Structure 1
Amino acid sequence: MTSPETREITIDTWSIELDNGENLRDLNIGDAVDLHTGTDFDGLWIAKEFIDQGAVITLQAAKVVENCGGDAVTSCRYSGTRHAHPVDINGRVLRRPETAAASS
């Protein structure tokens, strides 16, 4: 199980296969992925950024929220629906990463 202090990981995109048969490169910034036990980083993660032309990805620990709109800092376009947001070491909800196209 992932240590609660581990809030961000950077791994090779090919190192984990998704349910659809693709690897982590199939994600978009802001997409959430549930890594299963046995990956060393089980739990919910959200894609923060791609590095080295997409060969490496940084994921942030995340949790599902119902409504992020109560805080102007964390509010996003999915407010009012169940969706994932990154969290800090204390479980505080952080701003959701988004691609430039999604935030415009």
Structure 2
Amino acid sequence: MAQIGAIVLPTSSVVLDDCENPRDLAVGDSLQLQPATGFGGLWIAVQFDDDHSHFALYNAKITTNCGRNSAIACPFHGARHAHPVAIDGRLLRRPTTVRTAR
């Protein structure tokens, strides 16, 4: 699948396997979307709107060696975790703040 930028989805359109409420997701949580959605693969939540009715996801990649990039400054270096991926394939800093997704 080609790399794309952020996608915005209604929170109500997400069904989680563990029956967790999608509105309980947080910035930085990763999701595996099914191919039938048209956006299959690993994604990471980067933004929610104020009432958590929509959220933005960025294509993501699992890594353990993000510490090699000083611009990322990731506290999870050495442990398996997800990072957003830019369209050109570069790992991006993990999101940490909630902003409006719309």
TM-score range, shorter-chain basis? 0.7 to 0.9
1:74 paired residue number:
72
Equivalent residue, structure 2, for 1:18: 16
Give percent identity, aligned residues only. Answer: 45
CA RMSD of aligned residues (A): 1.6
CA distance in 1, matches of 2:23, 2:43: 14
Q: Work out the CA distance in 1 between the residues paired with 2:88 and 2:97.
A: 26
Q: In the alignment, what sits opposite 1:47?
A: 45
CA distance in 1, matches of 2:75, 2:38: 31
| Higher RCO structure, 1 or 2 (CA under 8 Å, sep 6+) | 2
Which blocks of at least 5 consecutive residues in structure 1 are unaligned? none
Give yes or no for contact 1:24–1:57 (8 Å, CA) kept in 2.
Answer: no
Q: Which residue of 2 aligns with 1:6?
A: 4
SS at match of 2:12: helix
Segments ≥4 residues shifted beyond 4 Å:
none
Inter-partner Cα distance in structure 1 for 2:77 and 2:86: 19
Any unmatched runs of 5+ in structure 2?
none
Question: 1:47 is matched by which residue type in structure 2?
Answer: A
TM-score w.r.t. length of structure 1: 0.85
Correspondence 1:83 to 2:81: yes
- Size of the aligned set, in residue pairs, is 98
**Alpha-carbon spacing, 1:66–1:5, altered in 2? closer, same or farther (3 Å):** closer
> Shift in Å at residue 6 of structure 1?
2.1
